[in-house]
């Protein structure tokens, strides 16, 4: 990562934003903090290839500017407990050992106690943050079977390191989040996920997983040509259609089948686990979980209940 | 200008030839009728070497002409190649001819700046990767070149064709050659073949050679590449057929079975039409056909 071109940009405009979501799919109402734009990890499927024009990494490190925007957003919100994350346009932890951008945010959320900060990553290193961690920071890892990590996430930390680091965060008093995203349908993936879930239940305290998201691979159509050009067999193995939002997704029948399998496997390990879908349709929610989650607000309410259940009156 | 015997020209020396194909029936017919109007350009060497006019010379040879009008020029080889390229620019080169021009320039050691300058004149993106693709086309086998010229294939489709190995490409060209297909349809077909190759590791053309036209071929490929979607479409059409809907009633679903709801369309001219439509809908509802369709759209 030493050859990376990193630019420090003057902060202007909205660094803290609503997650853009996607048309006709249910969004969890996440708030994104674009602390860093661009990613050093270069996963083969990464949609940043379609959204960001430059290979350089841009850092917005005017923390007072950012925290004032966070204060503004939490001050305006009257109904829901807000969740903020820095992992939308970058990996939250990959550059943090060097640039130490998260520490002031971790401390800020620990002082405010009115919202949660999620650091979402595939880079398993949090030792520099441990002395500063507090329950208002969620350490999250995107999780995939090791075979997928080997082939599609080559510059990232191996699975066992991510899980061990998540455990370290739990032991430091944090809740952790897990994101099965993207789930890639390829030969033998069912078995891979079976073992993956076994590993999670063995290494982590399942009661201290605050949320777990499921998101099957989806991408803007222009990445289809990119995947074809680079012979990404795993990424192209399933049957893709163009969804109502214009993005390429696995055909709904396949999505329901895979989500149902994973949902059942996970619930079998821990009935109380809070599982949600990232950008899915209302009918898929209903078919897989039996729950009616009719819109973004309904999903945000489920998050509120989950957070209140775990934090009591401390938030 | 001089009149030169064909025997004085080395007809096998094609250093400066960028024309493809060399045979041109219309030109041969024209020369047969009124002779060669524009003299060819020859390099002053012994024997003489053609700089421009390869097609005229090919036609003349075919017609059995002994002499042709020519201008003899004393220039260096690199200048001769540029003369050949510039002389042909005006008529609009096909993709293979552009490939020959660039490949010969690269082979003759022209600087990148000079080559990129010619690429701009040929309306090509002056980029190393594009140059690489054109050099590859120039070195490809004849059936591919013929296919490119005959179908007026775009650069995107040529790049797709180059993604297959020689054996696969041979099969694909023999599959596509008899069909009349537009460039956009060709692109869809090639994308599906590439997808098949990436997924299965090989291209399976079994059952495709009997395709009646490009659309039929595309449909057959879709069935191979999208088995779930194809089977859902088949089930939907079968249920619709069993419904035996009259012309003024139609049931439509999302083409990818993504939307949960279905559309029922009625064309109504009178109250009686409404009554008849309601009765028909009631019947297909009771027969369970609506439920069968909803099962498909609900996954």
- pLDDT given for residue A7 in this prediction: 86
Give chain A positions within 8 Å (CB) of B157: none
| Residue A239 sits at the chain B interface (C-beta within 8 Å) | yes
Half-sphere CA count of B13, side-chain side, radius 13 A: 17
Give the pLDDT confidence of A257-285 residue by residue, as tens digits: 999 999 999 999 999 999 999 999 999 99
Which of A251, A255, A290 would you mutate first to test chain B, the one with the most B CBs within 10 A? A251
- pLDDT given for residue A56 in this prediction: 82
| Residue B198 sits at the chain A interface (C-beta within 8 Å) | yes
Cα distance from A268 to chain B (closest Cα, Å)? 24
Mean pLDDT value across residues B157-168: 92
The rounded distance, in Å, linking the Cα atoms of B100 and B106 is 10
* A230 and A236 Cβ atoms separated by less than 8 Å: no
CA angle A229, A234, A235 (to 5 degrees): 60
Closest CA to B122 of B114, B56, B51: B114
With a cut of 90, say whether residue B117 has pLDDT above it: yes
| Residue B195 sits at the chain A interface (C-beta within 8 Å) | yes
- pLDDT given for residue A309 in this prediction: 94
Closest CA to B264 of A219, B246, B184: B246
A1-10, A29-38, A114-123: least confident range: A1-10
Give chain A positions within 8 Å (CB) of B259: 244
ipTM above 0.90, yes or no: no
Edge to edge, the sheet with strand A36-37 lists: A6-8, A57-59, A36-37
A57-61, A109-113, A152-156, B262-266: least confident range: A57-61
| Residue B259 sits at the chain A interface (C-beta within 8 Å) | yes
With a cut of 60, say whether residue A1 has pLDDT above it: no
**Other CB atoms within 10 A of residue A188 CB:** 9
Give the pLDDT confidence of B288-299 residue by residue, as tens digits: 999 999 999 998
- pLDDT given for residue A193 in this prediction: 98
Residues listed for chain A:
315
Residues listed for chain B:
299
Q: Please, which pLDDT band fits residue A20 given cuts at 50, 70 and 90?
A: confident
Cβ contact, residue pair A252, B199, below 8 Å: no
Domain boundaries, chain B: 140-225, 228-297
Give chain A positions within 8 Å (CB) of B256: 241-243, 251-252
- pLDDT given for residue A45 in this prediction: 94
Measuring CA to CA, how many Å separate A283 from each of A127, A181, A292?
Answer: 42, 20, 8
- Where b means 16+ CB within 10 Å and e means fewer, A269-284 reads ebeebbbbbbbbbbbb
A16-30, A90-104, B187-201, B203-217: least confident range: A16-30
- pLDDT, mean over chain B: 95
Give chain A positions within 8 Å (CB) of B191: 228
Q: How many CB pairs under 8 A join A and B?
A: 51
Give the pLDDT confidence of B209-263 residue by residue, as tens digits: 999 999 999 999 999 999 999 999 999 999 999 999 999 999 999 999 999 999 9
DSSP A280: B
- pLDDT given for residue A53 in this prediction: 64
With a cut of 60, say whether residue A22 has pLDDT above it: yes
- pLDDT given for residue B244 in this prediction: 96
Domain boundaries, chain A: 6-311
- pLDDT given for residue A3 in this prediction: 64
Closest CA to A292 of A278, A305, A302, A307: A302
- pLDDT given for residue A209 in this prediction: 98
- pLDDT, mean over chain A: 93
Closest CA to B204 of B188, B221, B217: B221
- pLDDT given for residue A52 in this prediction: 66
Give the pLDDT confidence of A47-58 residue by residue, as tens digits: 877 666 667 889
Structure tokens at A238: 């399933």
Closest CA to A87 of A128, A139, A153, A32: A32
- pLDDT given for residue B90 in this prediction: 86
Q: Please, which pLDDT band fits residue B29 given cuts at 50, 70 and 90?
A: very high
- pLDDT given for residue B252 in this prediction: 97
Mean pLDDT value across residues B114-123: 96
Which of A229, A241, A250 would you mutate first to test chain B, the one with the most B CBs within 10 A? A241
Q: Going by CATH, does the domain composed of A6-311 fall within 3.80.30.30? A: yes
Q: Select the residue of A237, A239, A253 nearest B299 (Cβ to Cβ).
A: A253
- pLDDT given for residue B299 in this prediction: 85
* B6 and B35 Cβ atoms separated by less than 8 Å: no
């Amino acid at each position: 990562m030493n050859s990376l071109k990193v630019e420090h940009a003057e902060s202007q405009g909205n660094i803290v934003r609503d997650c853009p979501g996607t048309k006709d799919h249910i969004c969890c109402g996440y708030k994104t903090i674009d602390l860093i734009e661009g990613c050093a990890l270069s996963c083969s499927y990464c949609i940043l290839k379609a959204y960001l024009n430059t290979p350089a990494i841009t850092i917005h490190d005017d923390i007072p500017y950012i925290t004032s925007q966070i204060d503004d957003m939490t001050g305006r919100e009257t109904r829901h407990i807000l969740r903020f994350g820095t992992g939308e346009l970058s990996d939250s932890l990959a550059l943090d050992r060097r640039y130490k951008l998260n520490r002031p945010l971790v401390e800020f959320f620990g002082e405010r106690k009115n919202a949660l900060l999620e650091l979402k990553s595939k880079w398993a290193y949090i030792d520099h943050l441990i002395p500063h961690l507090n329950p208002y920071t969620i350490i999250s890892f995107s999780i995939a079977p090791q075979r997928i990590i080997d082939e599609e996430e080559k510059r990232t930390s191996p699975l066992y390191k991510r899980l061990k680091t998540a455990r370290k965060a739990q032991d430091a008093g944090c809740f952790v989040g897990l994101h099965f995203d993207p789930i890639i349908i390829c030969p033998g993936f069912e078995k891979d996920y079976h073992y993956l879930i076994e590993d999670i239940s063995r290494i982590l305290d399942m009661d201290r997983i605050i949320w777990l998201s499921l998101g099957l691979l989806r991408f803007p159509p222009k990445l289809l040509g990119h995947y074809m050009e680079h012979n990404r067999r795993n990424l192209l193995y399933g049957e893709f259609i163009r969804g109502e939002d214009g993005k390429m997704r696995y055909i709904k029948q396949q999505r329901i089948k895979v989500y149902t399998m994973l949902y059942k496997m996970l619930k079998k390990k821990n009935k109380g686990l809070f599982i949600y879908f990232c950008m899915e349709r209302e009918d898929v929610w209903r078919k897989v979980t039996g729950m009616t989650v009719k819109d973004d607000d309904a999903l945000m309410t489920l998050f509120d209940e989950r957070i209140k259940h775990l934090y009591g009156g401390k938030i | 200008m001089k009149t030169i015997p064909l025997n004085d020209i080395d007809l096998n020396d094609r250093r400066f030839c960028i024309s493809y194909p060399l045979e041109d029936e219309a030109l041969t017919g024209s020369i047969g009728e009124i002779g060669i109007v524009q003299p060819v350009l020859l390099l002053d060497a012994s024997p003489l070497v053609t700089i421009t006019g390869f097609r005229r010379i090919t036609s003349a040879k075919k017609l059995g002409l002994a002499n042709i009008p020519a201008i003899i020029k004393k220039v260096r080889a690199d200048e001769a190649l540029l003369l050949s390229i510039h002389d042909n620019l005006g008529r609009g080169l096909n993709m293979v001819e552009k490939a020959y021009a660039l490949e010969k320039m690269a082979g003759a050691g022209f600087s990148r700046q000079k080559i990129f300058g010619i690429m701009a004149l040929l309306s090509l993106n002056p980029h190393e990767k594009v140059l690489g693709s054109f050099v590859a086309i120039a070195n490809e086998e004849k059936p591919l070149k013929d296919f490119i010229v005959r179908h007026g294939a775009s650069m995107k489709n040529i790049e797709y064709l180059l993604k297959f190995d020689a054996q696969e490409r041979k099969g694909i060209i023999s599959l596509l050659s008899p069909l009349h297909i537009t460039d956009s349809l060709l692109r869809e077909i090639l994308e599906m073949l590439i997808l098949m190759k990436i997924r299965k590791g090989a291209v399976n053309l079994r059952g495709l050679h009997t395709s009646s036209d490009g659309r039929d071929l595309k449909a057959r490929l879709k069935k191979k590449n999208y088995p779930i979607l194809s089977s859902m479409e088949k089930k939907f059409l079968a249920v619709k057929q069993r419904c035996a809907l009259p012309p003024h009633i139609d049931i439509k679903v999302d083409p990818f079975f993504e939307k949960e709801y279905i559309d029922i369309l009625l064309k109504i001219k009178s109250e009686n039409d409404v009554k008849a439509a309601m009765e028909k809908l009631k019947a297909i509802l009771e027969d369970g056909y609506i439920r069968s369709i909803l099962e498909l759209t609900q996954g």
